[in-house]
Amino acid sequence: MDPVVRVSGGLVRGVNRDGVSSFLGIPYAAPAVGADRYRAPQPVVPWAGERPAHEHGPTAAQAPYPAPMDAVLPSSVAPGDDYLNVSVWAPEDADGLPVMVWIPGGAFVRGANSVPTYDGAAFARDGIVVVGVNYRVGVPGFGVLDGAPTNLGLRDQIAALEWVRDNVEAFGGAPDDVTVFGESAGGMSVATLMASPAAEGLFRRAVIQSGGGTAVCTLDDARLVSAEIAARLGVPATAEAFAALDPETVVAAQSAVGLAIQADPDPARWGASVLRGGLGIMSLFPVVDGDIVPGVPEERLREGAGAGIPLLIGTTRDEFRLFLVPTGVAAGVTAEVLPLLGQRYGWPEQAVTTYAANRPTAAPGDVAAAILTDAAFRAPTTRLADAHHAAGGSVQLYEFDWGTDVAALGASHALELPFVFDTLEAATAMVGQNAPQHLADQVHRAWVDFGRTGDAGWPRWTPEHPTVMAFDIESSVVTGPRADELRLWG
């Protein structure tokens, strides 16, 4: 018999399959449409009778991944008003179980809890209640417009966590035993939530996958980007003007501006903090507003924010290959171009020679991918680990090293996701047909154990003993991998 529970708003009817109850597309706030698209999340609108929760709900306005990325990265785009929704997976007859809240990534312009890779059934099978969150992305989530609150996407995430606090007990979860986890923009969101007073007390543990603590920009710089989008749309940069536009029109304009930033990363035009915090690939993301984001998350953590929250954090070995290889950029990098890239992006003086010497048979594009992986992901991850540890926080660090044979991606950005969720069959476009199930068992188990106890199963990381779990065909605990390269980044 399908389960029925009462939540804020009314009754929802889920589906039970193989001992796992799923409740999909439950609103945690009122529809953010029209003028409300640029207002803080409002209380959910009650409904009469039972609301079916058999299918995922709508997604925030966004574009699918463009070619050639769409060949390996799944998109989930579903228009509709109730896009501020959560999906819940729980064991049948659960009671008082740990809760893990998933924040999807997508460079803060994409993301949805309905991506098949994020199915939470395996976590529920293993005794965890999982909640996947949708939140505003793009201009509605992270633009800076006159008349609109800042960081609406983060405010949505906080509203979803408050919904979990108030409702997860109905699904058999413990509201005081919550772990928040996310990847890429989702991981950056987790770091920002750890440092935000507005999220204090809403979760006990945190997992940051491929995301550091510096993905923020100043209000003034963010206004430059929003003003450019407004100019392309022919409207003033106000909430009132943007609320009157078709959301898809706004998505098209923000996509065009994002490409313009990548093509011409001029700090005078876009703002130095946009280029620095956006890693050269993001244009709309959290802003330091003195409210939801009081300061740079890495600095806030070093000062003690979130010190009592155990942290599991890490990267994949070849993060940046996802952005350089399918697009053909890596193939166009020559030995002569490498030093020029270093000058343009401010790489450390010895970066090109050190990374190239450590990879004597690698093509120049592969060397560039390794350098950018560390610049954008591994170095920020290590700095955030150091900041949290310095304030007394517990840190465990991992690196996902298994490489797919699809599209020469190696151990690229986002590759660990189907291993974390134990959903390899849903991700064959990226992991291939023969991805190692035993590795998924191991990675998934580490996340489950951390969600239960705050211990993923290997020694803590410290600056003196930089212990890292290297996940691969034969996983092992290593100390300070590629330390000579990491030292270049300070």
Which residues have a catalytic role annotated? 184, 319, 413
* Residue 359: count of CB within 10 angstroms of its CB: 12
Q: Which of 75, 68, 72 is nearest to 106 (CA)?
A: 75
Which helix (H) or strand (E) segment is 151 a member of?
A: none
Cis peptide before 247 (omega within 30 of 0): no
Q: How many CA atoms lie within 13 A of 408 on its CB side?
A: 13
Q: Where are the beta strands (DSSP E) in 250-391?
A: 287-288, 311-316
Which amino acid type is present at position 201?
G
Q: What are the beta bridge partners of residue 316?
A: 400
Any alpha helices (H) in 76-167, and if so which ranges? 121-125, 138-142, 152-167
Nearest CA-CA partner of 248 in 480, 60, 40, 47: 60
Q: Which residues pair with 251 in a beta bridge?
A: none
Nearest by Cα to 302 from 386, 376, 378: 386
- In Å, how far are 292, 325, 452 from 436, measured between CA atoms? 41, 23, 25
Express the helix, strand and coil content of the chain in percent, nearest 5 each: 40, 20, 45
C-alpha angle with apex 216: 176 to 117, nearest 5 degrees?
A: 55
